[in-house]
Amino acid sequence: MFIFLALINNENDRKKFEILYILYCKKMFFTANNVLHDEHEAEDAVHNAFLSIANNIEMINDAYSNNTLSYVITIARNAAIDLSRQKKRIKYIDIDEDLHFDDTTDILDTITSEENFQSIVSIITNLPDTYRDVLYMHYVDSLSTREIASLFSKKESTIKKQVVRGKKLLVERIRKEGIVK
């Protein structure tokens, strides 16, 4: 942590960073580990995320807010994705069995190769903000709708609707890309 603190000039920002580290380090590790499925790489991703946070500490006003939690989790997730792209080690996506394109086609059958996985993650990251973050957290980070609702300070029913609508949009784009007919 001393290395991170050395990057920060303002004493108040240093204290804020220490609070962030204590509050969110484990949650960030959990998020990174869900993406990477390797504890050592997850530690590297969290380290990279904290470097980014230290360099942009002035963007955080309240260390205890839900917005800050969402911000640091997103940074950890993105750091893990960046690391996985560098290492090209992600080979599957953990998706609930209830995600179906229709009654006959199951998305799990399409995400068996790394190429399909990367294509679907790319499609998810290009969805509108409303659906992108919710679908990514739900299917890639394996967060429940209740956990996502808590992160965004929204009702669980709202998040469920966003997941359902996002699934439809995702299926549309997957078909358009030719991943599934």
Same domain, 71 and 126: no
Domain count, the chain: 2
Determine the structural domain holding residue 12 and report its residue range: 2-87
Q: How confident is the model at residue 95 (pLDDT cuts 50, 70, 90)?
A: very low
Same domain, 75 and 30: yes
Over residues 20-47, mean pLDDT: 91
| Among 39, 54, 87, residue at a domain's last position | 87
Inform me whether the pLDDT recorded for 98 exceeds 60.
Answer: no
| Among 19, 54, 87, residue at a domain's last position | 87
Inform me whether the pLDDT recorded for 11 exceeds 60.
Answer: yes
Same domain, 77 and 142: no
Inform me whether the pLDDT recorded for 119 exceeds 50.
Answer: yes
Kindly report the average pLDDT of the chain as a whole number. 78
- Domain membership flag for residue 95: no
Burial class (CB within 10 angstroms; exposed 0-12, middle 13-18, buried 19+) of 170: buried
Cβ pair 35, 93 in contact under 8 A = no
Task: Write down the pLDDT at residue 97.
Answer: 43
Q: What number of other Cβ atoms are within 10 A of residue 102's Cβ?
A: 7
- Domain membership flag for residue 93: no
- Domain membership flag for residue 158: yes
- Domain membership flag for residue 99: no
Task: Write down the pLDDT at residue 113.
Answer: 53
Same domain, 12 and 72: yes
Same domain, 80 and 16: yes
Over residues 26-52, mean pLDDT: 90
Rounded to an integer, what distance in angstroms lies between the CA atom of residue 130 and that of residue 143?
Answer: 16
Over residues 36-54, mean pLDDT: 89
Q: How confident is the model at residue 25 (pLDDT cuts 50, 70, 90)?
A: very high
CA-to-CA separations, 26 to 21, 31, 72, 102, 143, in angstroms, rounded: 9, 9, 11, 38, 15
Rounded to an integer, what distance in angstroms lies between the CA atom of residue 110 and that of residue 167?
Answer: 14
| Among 55, 87, 119, residue at a domain's last position | 87
Helix extents (H) in 56-140: 66-87, 107-110, 114-125, 129-135
Same domain, 111 and 68: no
Rounded to an integer, what distance in angstroms lies between the CA atom of residue 159 and that of residue 21?
Answer: 28
- Domain membership flag for residue 169: yes
Same domain, 138 and 171: yes
- Domain membership flag for residue 100: no
